[in-house]
Structure 1
Amino acid sequence: MLEVLAVVAVVLAAAALVLAVVALRRTSRRADGSDLPQDLHGLRQEVAALRAEGADVLRHLAVVRYDAFNDVGGHLSWSLALLDDHGDGVLLSSIHGRSEARSYAKSVTGWSCEQQLSPEEDEAITLARG
């Protein structure tokens, strides 16, 4: 009786092993016959290309609001940094006084600017850099 059970167990184990091997072969091939690792390589290339494109997106941003003049309150003045992953982009500032507002745009390259920055503009770049 034990011998019969042992033989049945061995046969079932062998059948399970065969089914596992067949299932493994089916998962390593796609319906069109191409190998899965090549498809994964292609997907990795696509992701790398998307990351490279995404590096040029202006996604690092920060706004600093402040009072530019002592006689004007409400933090109506602001500086906005819009930068990509390389630190390239633009710095926009709007200075609000009692009777007028002025706007400025400065080019930023490599997280720095050739023009002199106010402390608030410098803070906006630092915050955008993270």
Structure 2
Amino acid sequence: MAVVLALLALVVAAAALVVALRSGRRTPAEAGDDLPADAAGLRREVAALRAEAAGALRHLAVVRYDAFDEMGGRLSWSLALLDDAGDGVVLTSIRGRNEARTYAKSVAAWAGEQELSPEEGEAVAHARMARM
């Protein structure tokens, strides 16, 4: 279980790094140097920040379940990591008696590019309702 959590943390950290690099974030010192002094300029700055945040993975949801009847404890899970447009990824780990398998599926516009399992679809639906 610890290995799965460590792997999940690594994936989330890598996704956050990709999003940060893609958005070209500035450091707090850099951001304060060019702030506009007038209200119209501040409105433009807020609009730019909102547009930048739209690409962040802000819609998250986890669905835990028992993949097999002989297993208990809801050790299998599906995690949806999506931006405001519904683009992102669903990560799934299916735990069996002797092994665990992990899958990643791309999501675009709130729908899987590959067929999603019922649990993966549920994770996407919960992430869509999540407001962060």
TM-score by structure 1 length?
A: 0.70
Equivalent position of 1:121 in the other structure: 120
Deviations 1:36-76 (A, max 9, x none): xx700000000000000000000100000000000011000
Q: How many angstroms apart in 1 are the aligned matches of 2:115 and 2:123? A: 14
CA RMSD in angstroms, aligned pairs only: 0.8
Q: Which residue of 1 aligns with 2:90?
A: 91
Deviations 1:67-105 (A, max 9, x none): 000001100000000000000001000000000000000
Select between 111-120 and 94-103 the one with higher mean Cα deviation: 111-120
Paired residue secondary structure (2:68): coil
Measure the CA separation in 1 of the matches of 2:47 and 2:113.
32
* Pairwise CA distance, 1:116: 1.2
Q: After the TM superposition, list the runs of 4 or more consecutive aligned residues in structure 1 that deviate by more than 6 angstroms.
A: none
Unaligned runs of 5+ in 1: 1-37
Separation in 2 of the partners of 1:118 and 1:109? 16
**Higher Cα radius of gyration:** 1
In the alignment, the residues of structure 1 paired with residue 116 and residue 69 of structure 2 have an alpha-carbon distance, to the nearest angstrom, of 19
Cα distance in 1 for residues equivalent to 2:125 and 2:86: 10
Instruction: Please show how residues 24-103 of structure 1 align to structure 2 within 5 Å.
Output: 39-103=38-102
Q: Alignment partner of 1:87: what SS?
A: coil
**C-alpha separation in 1, matches of 2:91 and 2:77:** 8
The alignment's TM-score, normalised by the length of structure 2, stands at 0.69
Paired residues, number: 93
Measured after TM superposition, the shift of residue 114 of structure 1 is: 2.0
Return the alpha-carbon distance in structure 2 between the equivalents of residues 80 and 60 of structure 1: 10
Give the structure 1 partner of residue 32 of structure 2. none
Give me the whole-angstrom Cα distance separating, in 1, the residues matched to 2:90 and 2:67.
16
Counterpart Cα distance in 1 of 2:116 and 2:70: 22
AA at the equivalent of 1:80 = L
